[in-house]
Amino acid sequence: MAKKKRNEDAQLNSEISIEQRETEGLSLGTIVRRRFLAHRAAIASLIALAVITLLAFTSVGIVIGGNGSLITDPNTGRLAVDGFRVPGWWTYNWYENYDILNPGGTPTMTLWPFSPGEHPFGQDTLGKDIFARVMRGTQQSLTVIFLVGLISTVLGVVIGSVAGFFRGWLDSLLMRFTDTIIIIPTLVLGAVLGRTFGGNAWSLGILLGLIAWTGLARLVRAEFLALREREFVDAARVAGASNFRIIFRHILPNSIGVIVVNATLLMSAAILIETSLSFLGFGITSPDISLGQIISEYNEAFKTRPWLFWYPGLFIVVIALAINFVGDGLRDAFDPRQRRLPRTDGALQDLKRLIGKRRAGK
């Protein structure tokens, strides 16, 4: 009798949908990894980000330490940047003037047949190499983005979760503090502090990170307030779980979607804030450069030399988009209720099938 009942149960349980079978028997880590790898836009964006980062840091090299100002090298008599300089593989750097090759400094890059030429992104009126400048600007902007992303996410998550989980006076205190930070305009604070602490990518990134966490903290708090009342949290408590464990194993994983999406939005907002600050002349200041600063510096040449905008603008858009796509992919990968694995075949297979059908039809 009991056996028969158990058999019926087993039969009932074996009736699971095809979607479920795809994730059947896999551990959480494997599923997350597979889902992320199957998210084409996210993977493409991750590759694009990696390529851009690699290109930016290896091409013109990096400067470690120093105050970033330009000095004349006593040995060679040429301009150099203060600090320890690791040279890159690109022949030109971002601060020296070179002979103007093409009339007006137009880009030397041709797409078909592909050849970069001497100055692929063109030159400005003084003969500076725009490729080198964009690469240096990308370095600086990327530094700011990742610092802001890291600092504000950590701050926002910690403050939001403590406030939402413990509630009471701690919540009031932290949220009033958050409100105080919110009412200070980011741009003004960034401008003032940027001026005070110098237009360095690191200090700018840290400063922006210290004021950009507020929105995330509120969202995380709201998530925590909602999730801590759920019965699975009670169940964990009955089983004897500590507060620490409930926060890290039960509530935080369930708010990962909100956190990831918001963190990526923050990072793409950071590139725009950094750009606007530099554009206004408060962020990373000359002689050092950022993507925003390049645009700001050349804004009079908008009609006559558009390439001075195109390339820094293109990099801003690509970086912001790529970060958002990666965030999207992460969120989907972490959500176990996401029923379907993204398709493993692609548009190409669709096309082949379509053609195959047509042929069969004929």
Is residue 337 close enough to count as binding other proteins by CB under 8 A? yes
Alpha carbons 211 and 61: distance in angstroms, whole number: 30
Alpha carbons 314 and 307: distance in angstroms, whole number: 10
Burial class (CB in 10 A: 0-12, 13-18, 19+), 331: buried
Looking only at residues 235 through 254 of this chain, which bind other proteins when binding is defined by CB under 8 A? Answer: 235-241, 249-250, 253-254
Q: Which is nearer to other proteins, 73 or 179 (CB)?
A: 179
Residue 23 CB, nearest distance to other proteins (Å)? 8
Contacts of 298 (CB under 8 A, 6+ apart): 124, 305, 308, 309
Interface residue with other proteins, options 10, 18, 347, 348 (CB under 8 A): 10
8 A C-beta contact, residue 151 and residue 210:
yes
Q: Which is nearer to other proteins, 73 or 234 (CB)?
A: 234
Interface residue with other proteins, options 26, 50, 54, 317 (CB under 8 A): 26
Q: Which is nearer to other proteins, 8 or 350 (CB)?
A: 8
Residue 336 CB, nearest distance to other proteins (Å)? 4
Per-residue buried b or exposed e for 17-49, using 16+ beta carbons within 10 Å of the residue's own CB: eeeeeebeeeeeeebbebbbebbeebeebbebb
Applying CB under 8 A, the span of 12-20, 120-128, 303-311, 325-333 interacting with other proteins comes to: 12-20
Residue 6 CB, nearest distance to other proteins (Å)? 7
Interface residue with other proteins, options 104, 287, 336, 356 (CB under 8 A): 336
3-state SS of 89-103 is CCCCCCCCCCCCCCH
Q: Which residues bind other proteins (CB under 8 A)?
A: 5-6, 9-10, 13-14, 16, 20, 23-28, 230-232, 234-241, 249-250, 253-254, 334, 336-337
